Amino acid sequence: MDNFWDMKAKEIMQSFSEDKNYEKWKKDVLDPWNKKTGYTDKPRENSSSMLIKDLYMAGDLPVDAESRIGNPGEYPFTRGIYPNMYRGRNWTMRMFSGFGTPDDTNKRLKYLIENGETGLSIAFDMPTLYGYDCDSKRAEGEVGKCGVNVSSLHDMERIFDGIDLAKVSTSMTINAPAAILTAMYFVLAEKNGTPLDKISGTVQADILKEYIAQKEWMYPPEAHLRLIRDMLTYSTEHVPKWNYISVSGYHIREAGSSAVQELAFTLADGFYYIEMGINAGLNVDDFAPRTSFFFNSSINFFEEIAKFRAARRIWATVLKEKYHAKNPKSMALKFHTQTSGYTLTWQQPLNNIVRTTIEAMAAVLGGTQSLHTNSYDEAWALPTDDAVKVALRTQQIIAEETGITDVIDPLGGSYYLERLTCEMEIEAYKYFSEIEKMGGILNAVKAGYLQKEIADTSYKKQLRIEREDDIIVGVNKYVDKDEKPINTLKITDVAENGQIRSLEGIKKKRDESKVSRSLENLHKAMEDDSINLMPYIMECVRNYCTLEEISNVGREIFGEWKEPKIY
């Protein structure tokens, strides 16, 4: 029996027709030419293991191409979610930053604001991402290394010291302890006298992809999903400009998936969150417009563009047909893009500028709403200022020199691209169907199915590189004998020691009876699934309970998660 997904896949397949023109051209022109020149072709495939033909023609378009593709700003949004796209306004150039102590990061944010930046994007260090304080044994050597450390509300106060939260929008890349960091941000606004309906921002909070790919978790999936549900309902009611989730494929791709797997697994996560909102009693049009996505842009140019377009079309179709959204804003998939970290090579690092440029162009031609371009030295370390500047300039050159932004969706109608978009869609629908047959995404994740699919793809890719079926310039071809080291950013242990001392000070000053009472209250509330935990977490945060103390309440109740065995 066909499910919804099987039917959608079939529908697209049935829109393909036989291409007589191609056969004729191949027989009359190409084959004789190849015979004469002695040329032998080899099969070409993209990251998604799709065989790529040598030529695409009008006959490769779906028979209902016009309605299937549609127009910019209109359902199904294949050509972009806004009518004027970059004719109106360029994408947001949002560079992700964060390092060292809160004070280091505060300085950087103020510098960005002085230079006209209003979209802040904060990166946290590993201990914060896993819900450990800076003085935890587990945090040793990691404080401030991959981002800024936040162990209590005090650190949040320092990050945003002197910054008017009503005037900036803040994006926080945090997942497992997302509810705690969100609570800190809300409490900070309260303390500064900024009403919650005036603050805006995004918290990543996409826990499903953590189990699938990024592997930064604390509890079993159900516990985290409950916290996301609580954030969703709390912010839908109290913080109207807060985007409580950014459904992320970026990490799925970095973990080794193909483009199609990134597309399918990310959207499958997105559908789960939509169902969660509906199950929590919300109207889909009340919260779906606040769902946004975060994709990877990798090196196979057309495959990436097709992926972005397929994502928009699938989202629109499914929101309308399966979840019965009425508001076009619920159907319009908006997304942030980051160029691929995986494609950056340690060898001949300057080549990375070229790779990032091509990936950034794919994101722009795919209609992204915001973009982070990686720096050329990131296979070595966190980027230096100079390297970050080149990365930002790359975006500015694409936006202002190339003319790429002069036309809305300039590649729309390309035989190859439109066909590829359809084929990406079909493959994604097949995955949705497979996942449904496994009892839904949560079961599939707990069984390790998606993780295994990704690891298999990544191993296959590595073997292709080793066999030189896939070329990486400077790595398995055009190799330099002597690699000259480049200048890289060094992060010392000063941040770690400073944070530990600061946390000690906070623990001395706070009212311990309030600390233990608010943690006890949270403990009780957590045991009852029907209670929204946000107010309880905010109360803990107000009393300067630390990140780890709050996280530990959940660890006691829900236990810690261990990944399934996939091999």
**Residues binding other proteins (CB under 8 A):** 126-127, 129-130, 132, 138-142, 145-146, 210, 214-216, 220, 254-256, 342, 345-347, 379-381, 439, 443, 447, 455, 458-459, 462, 466, 472, 475-476, 485, 488, 491, 559-560, 562-567
Taking the CA atoms of 144, 147, 152 and 158 in sequence, report the sign of the dihedral they define.
positive
Q: Which helix or strand (DSSP H or E) is residue 486 part of? A: none
User: Least distance in Å: CB of 377 to other proteins?
Assistant: 11
Nearer CB in complex with other proteins: 36/565: 565
User: Least distance in Å: CB of 509 to other proteins?
Assistant: 28
User: Least distance in Å: CB of 347 to other proteins?
Assistant: 6
Instruction: Give the whole-angstrom CA distance, residue 493 versus residue 495.
Output: 5
* Virtual torsion, Cα 368, 370, 375, 376, nearest 10 deg: 10
Q: Please say whether the beta carbons of 261 and 457 come within 8 A.
A: yes
User: Least distance in Å: CB of 323 to other proteins?
Assistant: 23
- Helix, strand, coil content of the chain in percent (nearest 5): 55, 10, 40
Nearer CB in complex with other proteins: 127/554: 127
Closest listed residue to residue 334, CA positions, set 268, 290, 296 = 290
Tell me if residue 420 falls in helix, strand or coil.
Answer: helix
User: Least distance in Å: CB of 534 to other proteins?
Assistant: 25
User: Least distance in Å: CB of 262 to other proteins?
Assistant: 13
Nearer CB in complex with other proteins: 253/312: 253
User: Least distance in Å: CB of 119 to other proteins?
Assistant: 26
Residue that has been written with the tokens 């900070």 in this structure: 188
Nearer CB in complex with other proteins: 38/485: 485
**CA 484 and chain centroid, separation:** 33
Nearer CB in complex with other proteins: 56/132: 132
Instruction: Give the whole-angstrom CA distance, residue 297 versus residue 150.
Output: 30
Which one-letter amino acid corresponds to residue 294? F
Instruction: Give the whole-angstrom CA distance, residue 363 versus residue 414.
Output: 17
Count of Cβ atoms closer than 10 Å to residue 480 Cβ? 9
- Token pair belonging to 476: 């398995």
Nearer CB in complex with other proteins: 54/466: 466
User: Least distance in Å: CB of 58 to other proteins?
Assistant: 40
User: Least distance in Å: CB of 47 to other proteins?
Assistant: 14
Nearer CB in complex with other proteins: 31/560: 560
* Cα angle for residues 334, 338, 339 (degrees, 5° grid): 135
Structure letter (DSSP) for residue 243 = E
Residues 6+ apart with CB under 8 A from 104: 144, 148, 495
- Could you tell me which residues are beta bridge partners of residue 231? none
- Token pair belonging to 106: 């505060």
User: Least distance in Å: CB of 167 to other proteins?
Assistant: 34
Question: What is each CA distance from 450 to 135, 211, 228, 433, 550, in whole angstroms?
Answer: 35, 9, 21, 13, 30
Residues in the chain: 567
User: Least distance in Å: CB of 1 to other proteins?
Assistant: 14
Residues 6+ apart with CB under 8 A from 33: 39
Taking the CA atoms of 485, 489, 144 and 221 in sequence, report the sign of the dihedral they define.
negative
User: Least distance in Å: CB of 126 to other proteins?
Assistant: 5
Nearer CB in complex with other proteins: 110/523: 523
Instruction: Give the whole-angstrom CA distance, residue 239 versus residue 185.
Output: 11
Nearer CB in complex with other proteins: 24/138: 138
Count of Cβ atoms closer than 10 Å to residue 28 Cβ? 10
User: Least distance in Å: CB of 242 to other proteins?
Assistant: 26
Nearer CB in complex with other proteins: 381/404: 381
Nearer CB in complex with other proteins: 5/132: 132
Instruction: Give the whole-angstrom CA distance, residue 520 versus residue 59.
Output: 67
Angle at which helices 534-542 and 512-526 cross, to 10°:
170
Nearer CB in complex with other proteins: 497/516: 497
Tell me if residue 257 falls in helix, strand or coil.
Answer: coil
Instruction: Give the whole-angstrom CA distance, residue 478 versus residue 481.
Output: 10
Q: Which helix or strand (DSSP H or E) is residue 44 part of? A: strand 44-45
User: Least distance in Å: CB of 2 to other proteins?
Assistant: 18
Structure letter (DSSP) for residue 346 = S
Nearer CB in complex with other proteins: 206/254: 254
Phi, psi of 47, rounded to the nearest 5 degrees: -60, -25
Nearer CB in complex with other proteins: 192/345: 345
Q: Which helix or strand (DSSP H or E) is residue 421 part of? A: helix 415-437
